Amino acid sequence: MSTRIDMLMNPGPEVRAAILEPLRAHNRAQAGDPKPEAIALVVRDEHSGEILGGLQAEIFYRWMFIELLAVPEQTRGQGTGSQLLNMAEELAREKGCIGIWLDTFDFQAPQFYQRHGFSEFGRLEEFPPQHRRFFLHKRLV
């Protein structure tokens, strides 16, 4: 087989999908089907129904990955973030998850997650420049 390597700047979703498919096939062969399940907990304006923030996560291989957590500015300090995180943890437990993991930046809320029982398992210095990115997890079993 003859191959070549092309560099694509800002490739479209079809390129990502083409690269991802053989990787997922290999992962399934080695570790089984992850049976991914996406969830979202949304914070809405009570009157307009507009989504103001929330939590988006995916469960696969018995771990919940919290991809996004955005607490609306107008509700900060009122327990909204804790409520979202507690609801996600409750769901993770119901689904039989081993744990929850996420990443956050030093200018976001790493201490918030630590107060909720998360511990650091990795970090990137200078990402973005002059900041740090933290990787946190919480074991449930």
Q: CA-CA distance, 21 to 2, in Å (whole number)?
A: 20
Long-range contacts of 27-36 (CB under 8 A, 24+ apart): 31/61, 34/60, 34/61, 35/60, 36/60
Burial of 18 (0-12, 13-18, 19+ CB in 10 A): exposed
Q: What is the pLDDT of residue 32?
A: 96
Q: What is the pLDDT of residue 141?
A: 94
Q: What is the pLDDT of residue 5?
A: 97
pLDDT tens profile 46-98: 999 999 999 999 999 999 999 999 999 999 999 999 999 999 999 999 999 99
Q: CA-CA distance, 28 to 38, in Å (whole number)?
A: 18
Which two three-digit tokens encode residue 101?
């993991």
pLDDT tens profile 120-137: 999 999 999 999 999 999
Report domain 34-139's class. Answer: alpha beta
Tell me the whole-structure pTM to 2 decimals: 0.91
Domain ranges of the chain: 34-139
CA 10 to chain centroid, in Å, comes to: 23
- Say which residue the tokens 């291989």 belong to: 61
Mean of pLDDT values over 2-10: 97
pLDDT tens profile 22-44: 999 999 999 999 999 999 999 99
